[in-house]
Structure 1
Amino acid sequence: AYGDVDEGHPPGKDFLASLCDQWEKEASAAATLGVRTVMLRSGVVLDPAGGALRRLVLPFKLFVGGPLGDGNQWMPWIHREDQVRAILYAVETPEISGPVNLVAPDAVTMTEFSRTLGRVLRRPALMTVPAFVLRILLGEMAIVVLTGQRAVPRKLLQAGFRFSHPSLPEALSNLLHPSISSG
């Protein structure tokens, strides 16, 4: 999708988008019973202890890090602390209902993400993993890595949520060099 994708945009056409749309339709049935329903749409949660960040850091440490695919796909992300805080905020804020994008306001492409990660780790971001290699390694799940939307957290921001880690360079520094960024 081109441009910002907020919570009001229609779902995409691929398998994952259709699956999530079906989940959200089932969850929204509770609203017909008068239950406030919040459907969380999470970006990539950045946490050095696991998930995508842990897997992306190793190639950089070995000096073979870089973008996945062509690098032009958007990579919606969120710092682990902001993820937890945003979930609690959504639950505790009665004005929030329906779909909520749990993503940082600093939208980046895979290339921008890789360059920033390289700078934080003081490593180059030169090696690209071609899409066909990802399709061989990941099969149908490659779509998760090779496509992305410029998701924005409109509902959270309009409801007054303040991100502790809104920018990617600061978030990665905080997670990967906590003693430097906190002191």
Structure 2
Amino acid sequence: MERSRIAVAGASGLIGSALVRSLTADGHEVVRLVRRAARTADEVCWDPEGGYVDAAGLAGCDAVVNLAGAGVGDRRWTEAYKSRIRDSRVLGTRALAEAVAALPAQERPQVFVNGSAIGYYGQTGERPVDESAPAGAGFLPELCVQWEAAAVPAQEAGVRTVFTRTGLVVARGGGAWGRLFPLFRAGLGGRLGDGRQYWSFIALHDEVAAIRHLLDRDDLSGPFNLTAPQPLTNREITAAMGRVLHRPTLFAVPAPVLRVVLGEMAGDVLGSQRVLPMRLLESGFSFAFPGIEEAIRAAE
């Protein structure tokens, strides 16, 4: 992509902040969506849950990237927090998509990249799935379906729309691995449950590179799984963490304990998702860190 003006919602999050660093390092102009009055020319005010976006600030942007949303793993899933997770994604996406669609045709972005998650597929067990698989059942699949459907206004306005169904991002700064690294460094890491569940991971570097690949390629639209090519079981990943960090991995956490501590969210931790990035690979994308040990070292 030539030097472009790109609006990013969720710019302070794990993926968003890494994406902003990558874009600005290459000379792109980044406009951040903020939940307060804009103070500078590179900020746009929005209220995702309230459905408000200062659309004028998006005029002339070449792309809009939406990575905003309350953290799925930040706290126990009470009904109130599940509503917050849903509203922060669905209402925020709809607000952005409608703002994009309302712009005059000549001022609309060329592409709208909207975050999503492999939670779309639900529990797949040992069965590998790609983007052709249907949505699963349960809170996360229903959330992802609504989340992606909220982008319809942008699609109907003729804006190329991409959904990044992201897996577990291997990074020090947040997400699941942000919690795992300190435990493993302290020698307290271990498998979760029986460890047979598949985890579909991706290095943060590859996550950002994949988003940029999707921004650049004007022939790509629809859902893309952002996961490494070979998902592994939690037991295999636990062993890899021990090898890379040179720590024992003896402290397994039984499934009943996880259910008590995490409540409904334990089903996501103990569930198995063997997700393949078929469309990303077919588009010619190359992973810099396709293996788990490589991804862990890159995060270190």
- 1:99 match: secondary structure: strand
Indicate if the aligned counterparts of 1:46 and 1:80 stay in contact, CA closer than 8 A.
Answer: yes
Which residue type is aligned with residue 159 of structure 1?
S
Indicate if the aligned counterparts of 2:128 and 2:275 stay in contact, CA closer than 8 A.
Answer: yes
Q: Give the stretch that moved more between structures: 101-110 or 55-64.
A: 55-64
Indicate if the aligned counterparts of 1:27 and 1:39 stay in contact, CA closer than 8 A.
Answer: no
> Is structure 2 residue 280 aligned with structure 1 residue 156?
yes
Match of 2:181 among 48, 54, 57: 57
1:75 and 1:95 mapped to 2: Cα distance?
30
Indicate if the aligned counterparts of 1:96 and 1:155 stay in contact, CA closer than 8 A.
Answer: no
1:58 and 1:48 mapped to 2: Cα distance?
9
Give 1 or 2 for the bigger CA radius of gyration: 2
TM-score, with length taken from structure 1? 0.89
Indicate if the aligned counterparts of 1:134 and 1:142 stay in contact, CA closer than 8 A.
Answer: yes
Match of 1:144 among 268, 273, 279: 268
2:238 and 2:269 mapped to 1: Cα distance?
13
> Is structure 2 residue 220 aligned with structure 1 residue 96?
yes
TM-score, with length taken from structure 2? 0.56
Measured after TM superposition, the shift of residue 66 of structure 1 is 0.8
- 1:37 match: secondary structure: strand
| Structure showing the higher helix proportion among its residues | 1
Aligned to 2:161: 37
Match of 1:125 among 237, 249, 252: 249
Percent pairwise identity? 45
Measured after TM superposition, the shift of residue 54 of structure 1 is 2.5
Measured after TM superposition, the shift of residue 62 of structure 1 is 2.6
Measured after TM superposition, the shift of residue 64 of structure 1 is 2.4
2:219 and 2:242 mapped to 1: Cα distance?
39
Aligned to 2:192: 68
Measured after TM superposition, the shift of residue 29 of structure 1 is 4.7
Aligned to 2:210: 86
> Is structure 2 residue 135 aligned with structure 1 residue 11?
yes
Cα deviation digits, residues 161-182 of structure 1 (max 9, x gap):
1111111111112222xxxxxx
> Is structure 2 residue 286 aligned with structure 1 residue 171?
no
Please, which runs of 5 or more residues in structure 1 have no aligned partner?
177-183
Which residue type is aligned with residue 111 of structure 1?
R
Q: Which has the higher contact order (CA 8 A, sep 6+)?
A: 1
Aligned to 2:75: none
> Is structure 2 residue 240 aligned with structure 1 residue 116?
yes
Q: Give the stretch that moved more between structures: 53-62 or 38-47.
A: 53-62
Indicate if the aligned counterparts of 2:203 and 2:298 stay in contact, CA closer than 8 A.
Answer: no
2:144 and 2:156 mapped to 1: Cα distance?
19
Provide the aligned C-alpha RMSD in A.
Answer: 1.5
